[in-house]
Structure 1
Amino acid sequence: MRLNEITFTDARPVEGYGPGFFRIGGQVFDGPVITGPSGSTAWAGYDDADALLEYAGHVDVLFIGTGAEIAHMPEALRTRLEDAGLGVDVMASPAACRTYNVLLSEGRRIALALLPV
Protein backbone atom coordinates (compact mmCIF):
# COMPACT_ATOMS: atom_id res chain seq x y z
CA MET A 1 0.00 0.00 0.00
CA ARG A 2 1.25 3.45 -0.87
CA LEU A 3 0.50 6.33 1.50
CA ASN A 4 0.57 9.86 0.16
CA GLU A 5 1.25 12.90 2.26
CA ILE A 6 -1.47 15.54 2.00
CA THR A 7 -0.68 19.23 2.13
CA PHE A 8 -3.46 21.54 3.27
CA THR A 9 -3.43 25.05 1.84
CA ASP A 10 -6.15 27.31 3.24
CA ALA A 11 -8.50 24.40 3.98
CA ARG A 12 -7.78 22.89 7.38
CA PRO A 13 -9.06 19.71 9.01
CA VAL A 14 -11.40 19.72 11.99
CA GLU A 15 -9.20 18.66 14.90
CA GLY A 16 -11.80 18.60 17.64
CA TYR A 17 -15.14 19.79 18.94
CA GLY A 18 -17.07 19.94 22.16
CA PRO A 19 -20.00 21.71 23.76
CA GLY A 20 -20.25 24.99 21.87
CA PHE A 21 -16.85 24.99 20.11
CA PHE A 22 -14.83 23.61 17.19
CA ARG A 23 -11.04 23.46 16.75
CA ILE A 24 -10.04 23.78 13.09
CA GLY A 25 -6.44 24.04 11.98
CA GLY A 26 -5.30 24.91 15.50
CA GLN A 27 -7.83 27.73 15.91
CA VAL A 28 -10.80 27.53 18.29
CA PHE A 29 -14.20 28.83 17.17
CA ASP A 30 -17.02 29.34 19.65
CA GLY A 31 -20.44 28.75 18.13
CA PRO A 32 -21.29 28.02 14.49
CA VAL A 33 -18.42 27.97 11.98
CA ILE A 34 -17.81 27.60 8.24
CA THR A 35 -14.64 26.07 6.83
CA GLY A 36 -13.50 25.27 3.32
CA PRO A 37 -11.00 26.20 0.62
CA SER A 38 -10.91 29.86 1.66
CA GLY A 39 -10.28 29.15 5.35
CA SER A 40 -12.46 29.13 8.45
CA THR A 41 -14.72 31.80 9.89
CA ALA A 42 -17.56 32.25 12.36
CA TRP A 43 -21.03 31.69 10.92
CA ALA A 44 -24.36 33.19 11.99
CA GLY A 45 -26.21 29.92 11.39
CA TYR A 46 -29.11 29.24 9.04
CA ASP A 47 -29.93 32.95 8.77
CA ASP A 48 -26.56 33.57 7.10
CA ALA A 49 -27.20 32.08 3.64
CA ASP A 50 -24.91 34.57 1.90
CA ALA A 51 -21.84 33.12 3.64
CA LEU A 52 -22.74 29.68 2.29
CA LEU A 53 -23.53 30.95 -1.19
CA GLU A 54 -19.96 32.26 -1.50
CA TYR A 55 -18.91 28.64 -2.03
CA ALA A 56 -21.07 28.24 -5.16
CA GLY A 57 -18.80 27.35 -8.06
CA HIS A 58 -15.86 26.70 -5.73
CA VAL A 59 -16.93 23.43 -4.09
CA ASP A 60 -18.89 20.40 -5.22
CA VAL A 61 -20.46 19.57 -1.85
CA LEU A 62 -21.34 21.62 1.20
CA PHE A 63 -21.76 19.57 4.36
CA ILE A 64 -24.14 21.02 6.93
CA GLY A 65 -23.64 19.83 10.51
CA THR A 66 -26.91 20.26 12.41
CA GLY A 67 -25.55 19.91 15.95
CA ALA A 68 -25.46 16.84 18.18
CA GLU A 69 -28.31 15.15 16.31
CA ILE A 70 -29.30 15.10 12.66
CA ALA A 71 -32.11 17.53 11.91
CA HIS A 72 -33.73 19.06 8.87
CA MET A 73 -32.33 22.37 7.71
CA PRO A 74 -34.82 25.03 6.59
CA GLU A 75 -36.23 24.00 3.20
CA ALA A 76 -35.99 27.54 1.81
CA LEU A 77 -32.25 27.60 2.59
CA ARG A 78 -31.67 24.18 1.06
CA THR A 79 -33.51 25.21 -2.12
CA ARG A 80 -31.55 28.45 -2.37
CA LEU A 81 -28.22 26.62 -2.03
CA GLU A 82 -29.13 23.92 -4.53
CA ASP A 83 -30.43 26.50 -7.01
CA ALA A 84 -26.99 28.16 -6.79
CA GLY A 85 -25.39 24.85 -7.80
CA LEU A 86 -24.21 23.70 -4.39
CA GLY A 87 -24.62 20.05 -3.52
CA VAL A 88 -25.86 19.94 0.08
CA ASP A 89 -25.49 17.01 2.47
CA VAL A 90 -27.02 17.34 5.94
CA MET A 91 -25.88 15.27 8.92
CA ALA A 92 -25.11 15.61 12.63
CA SER A 93 -22.05 17.80 13.26
CA PRO A 94 -19.78 14.97 14.50
CA ALA A 95 -20.47 12.93 11.35
CA ALA A 96 -20.05 16.04 9.17
CA CYS A 97 -16.62 16.71 10.74
CA ARG A 98 -15.44 13.15 10.10
CA THR A 99 -16.75 13.09 6.52
CA TYR A 100 -15.21 16.49 5.77
CA ASN A 101 -11.81 15.39 7.08
CA VAL A 102 -11.79 12.22 4.99
CA LEU A 103 -12.78 13.98 1.78
CA LEU A 104 -10.41 16.87 2.49
CA SER A 105 -7.54 14.39 2.81
CA GLU A 106 -8.50 13.09 -0.65
CA GLY A 107 -8.22 16.59 -2.10
CA ARG A 108 -11.96 16.98 -2.78
CA ARG A 109 -13.65 20.34 -3.38
CA ILE A 110 -15.75 20.58 -0.22
CA ALA A 111 -16.88 22.99 2.46
CA LEU A 112 -18.41 22.54 5.89
CA ALA A 113 -20.91 24.60 7.89
CA LEU A 114 -21.36 23.51 11.50
CA LEU A 115 -23.79 24.17 14.30
CA PRO A 116 -22.30 23.34 17.73
CA VAL A 117 -22.90 20.10 19.58
Structure 2
Amino acid sequence: MKFQPDRSSSQTISGYGPGWIGVDADRITHSVVLTSGGVRIDWNCARYEDLTPAHFAQLAELDCELVIFGSGGRNRFPPPAWLQPLMARRIGLETMDTQAACRTYNILSGEGRNVAAALLLETGPQAGAAPA
Protein backbone atom coordinates (compact mmCIF):
# COMPACT_ATOMS: atom_id res chain seq x y z
CA MET A 1 0.00 0.00 0.00
CA LYS A 2 1.37 3.40 -0.97
CA PHE A 3 0.85 6.33 1.39
CA GLN A 4 0.77 9.89 0.12
CA PRO A 5 0.25 13.09 2.08
CA ASP A 6 -3.20 14.63 1.88
CA ARG A 7 -3.39 17.62 -0.40
CA SER A 8 -5.82 20.38 0.43
CA SER A 9 -6.89 23.09 -1.96
CA SER A 10 -7.85 25.35 0.96
CA GLN A 11 -5.58 27.64 2.96
CA THR A 12 -3.69 25.66 5.57
CA ILE A 13 -2.38 26.92 8.88
CA SER A 14 1.18 25.66 8.90
CA GLY A 15 2.23 26.84 12.35
CA TYR A 16 1.39 29.11 15.26
CA GLY A 17 2.82 30.70 18.36
CA PRO A 18 2.10 33.61 20.68
CA GLY A 19 0.95 36.51 18.47
CA TRP A 20 1.41 34.81 15.09
CA ILE A 21 0.18 32.09 12.74
CA GLY A 22 1.63 30.71 9.54
CA VAL A 23 -0.76 30.40 6.62
CA ASP A 24 0.78 28.50 3.75
CA ALA A 25 4.09 30.42 3.32
CA ASP A 26 2.95 33.66 5.04
CA ARG A 27 3.50 34.66 8.67
CA ILE A 28 0.54 36.66 10.00
CA THR A 29 0.88 38.78 13.14
CA HIS A 30 -2.57 40.38 13.35
CA SER A 31 -6.08 39.01 13.84
CA VAL A 32 -7.43 37.45 10.68
CA VAL A 33 -10.39 35.61 9.18
CA LEU A 34 -9.65 32.67 6.89
CA THR A 35 -12.08 30.57 4.91
CA SER A 36 -11.67 27.17 3.37
CA GLY A 37 -12.69 28.84 0.10
CA GLY A 38 -9.50 30.91 0.09
CA VAL A 39 -10.71 34.22 1.54
CA ARG A 40 -8.33 36.03 3.90
CA ILE A 41 -9.58 39.18 5.65
CA ASP A 42 -7.80 41.33 8.23
CA TRP A 43 -9.92 41.31 11.40
CA ASN A 44 -9.50 44.69 13.07
CA CYS A 45 -9.02 43.72 16.73
CA ALA A 46 -5.83 43.38 18.73
CA ARG A 47 -7.37 42.16 22.02
CA TYR A 48 -10.49 40.30 23.08
CA GLU A 49 -11.71 43.52 24.69
CA ASP A 50 -11.65 45.23 21.26
CA LEU A 51 -14.34 42.94 19.86
CA THR A 52 -17.78 44.39 19.14
CA PRO A 53 -21.05 43.11 17.66
CA ALA A 54 -19.82 44.43 14.29
CA HIS A 55 -17.00 41.87 14.25
CA PHE A 56 -19.51 39.04 14.44
CA ALA A 57 -21.88 40.69 11.94
CA GLN A 58 -18.92 40.68 9.53
CA LEU A 59 -18.57 36.91 10.03
CA ALA A 60 -22.25 36.45 9.15
CA GLU A 61 -21.50 37.82 5.68
CA LEU A 62 -19.19 34.91 4.90
CA ASP A 63 -20.56 32.09 2.80
CA CYS A 64 -19.82 29.23 5.22
CA GLU A 65 -21.57 26.66 7.39
CA LEU A 66 -19.44 27.09 10.51
CA VAL A 67 -17.21 29.77 12.05
CA ILE A 68 -14.46 28.66 14.39
CA PHE A 69 -13.72 31.56 16.73
CA GLY A 70 -10.21 31.54 18.20
CA SER A 71 -10.58 33.79 21.23
CA GLY A 72 -6.89 34.37 21.93
CA GLY A 73 -4.68 32.69 24.51
CA ARG A 74 -7.61 31.30 26.46
CA ASN A 75 -11.19 30.29 25.76
CA ARG A 76 -13.60 33.23 26.05
CA PHE A 77 -17.15 33.40 24.77
CA PRO A 78 -18.74 36.40 23.01
CA PRO A 79 -22.02 37.70 24.43
CA PRO A 80 -24.96 35.73 22.96
CA ALA A 81 -26.59 38.87 21.54
CA TRP A 82 -23.56 39.38 19.29
CA LEU A 83 -24.25 36.03 17.59
CA GLN A 84 -27.71 36.99 16.31
CA PRO A 85 -26.50 37.79 12.74
CA LEU A 86 -24.87 34.33 12.55
CA MET A 87 -27.96 32.57 13.89
CA ALA A 88 -30.19 34.45 11.44
CA ARG A 89 -28.14 32.98 8.56
CA ARG A 90 -27.97 29.52 10.21
CA ILE A 91 -24.18 29.69 10.56
CA GLY A 92 -22.77 27.77 13.51
CA LEU A 93 -20.08 29.17 15.80
CA GLU A 94 -17.61 27.19 17.90
CA THR A 95 -15.41 29.03 20.39
CA MET A 96 -11.99 27.85 21.55
CA ASP A 97 -8.55 29.30 22.18
CA THR A 98 -6.73 30.39 19.02
CA GLN A 99 -4.29 27.47 18.90
CA ALA A 100 -7.13 24.93 19.14
CA ALA A 101 -9.05 26.91 16.51
CA CYS A 102 -6.07 26.63 14.14
CA ARG A 103 -5.97 22.85 14.52
CA THR A 104 -9.73 22.48 14.17
CA TYR A 105 -9.82 24.69 11.06
CA ASN A 106 -7.14 22.55 9.39
CA ILE A 107 -9.03 19.35 10.12
CA LEU A 108 -12.41 20.61 8.90
CA SER A 109 -11.10 22.41 5.83
CA GLY A 110 -9.00 19.34 4.97
CA GLU A 111 -12.23 17.32 5.03
CA GLY A 112 -13.68 19.69 2.44
CA ARG A 113 -16.02 21.46 4.87
CA ASN A 114 -17.10 25.03 4.14
CA VAL A 115 -15.66 26.68 7.27
CA ALA A 116 -14.14 29.95 8.40
CA ALA A 117 -11.70 30.65 11.20
CA ALA A 118 -11.88 34.02 12.97
CA LEU A 119 -8.56 34.09 14.79
CA LEU A 120 -7.79 36.64 17.46
CA LEU A 121 -4.03 37.19 17.57
CA GLU A 122 -3.56 39.32 20.64
CA THR A 123 -0.76 41.82 20.85
CA GLY A 124 0.71 43.71 23.76
CA PRO A 125 2.43 42.72 27.01
CA GLN A 126 -0.68 41.24 28.66
CA ALA A 127 -2.05 39.46 25.55
CA GLY A 128 -4.15 36.51 26.58
CA ALA A 129 -3.25 36.80 30.24
CA ALA A 130 -5.86 35.87 32.80
CA PRO A 131 -7.02 38.75 35.00
CA ALA A 132 -5.31 38.93 38.41
TM-score interval, normalised by the smaller of the two chains: 0.7 to 0.9
User: Residue 23 of structure 1: CA displacement?
Assistant: 1.3
Identity of aligned residues (%): 28
Larger CA deviation: 12-21 vs 106-115: 12-21
1:95 counterpart residue number:
100
User: Residue 41 of structure 1: CA displacement?
Assistant: 2.3
C-alpha distance in structure 2 between counterparts of 1:31 and 1:4, whole Å? 30
Task: Check whether the contact 1:34–1:40 (CA below 8 A) recurs between aligned residues.
Answer: yes
1:30 counterpart residue number:
29
Unaligned ranges ≥5, structure 2? 46-50, 123-132
1:43 counterpart residue number:
43
C-alpha distance in structure 2 between counterparts of 1:102 and 1:7, whole Å? 10
- Deviations 1:46-76 (CA, angstroms, capped at 9, x unpaired): 3323431221xx2111100001111111322
User: Residue 30 of structure 1: CA displacement?
Assistant: 1.6
Task: Check whether the contact 1:29–1:42 (CA below 8 A) recurs between aligned residues.
Answer: no
Task: Check whether the contact 1:96–1:112 (CA below 8 A) recurs between aligned residues.
Answer: yes
TM-score, normalised via structure 2 length: 0.74
2:8 counterpart residue number:
7
Code of the aligned partner of 2:58: A
- Deviations 1:68-113 (CA, angstroms, capped at 9, x unpaired): 1111113222222212221111111111111110111111111100
Q: Which has the higher strand share?
A: 1
Number of matched pairs = 113
Unaligned ranges ≥5, structure 1? none
TM-score, normalised via structure 1 length: 0.82
Larger CA deviation: 43-52 vs 86-95: 43-52
Could you list the structure 1 runs, at least 4 aligned residues long, displaced by more than 3 angstroms after superposition: 1-5
Code of the aligned partner of 1:27: D
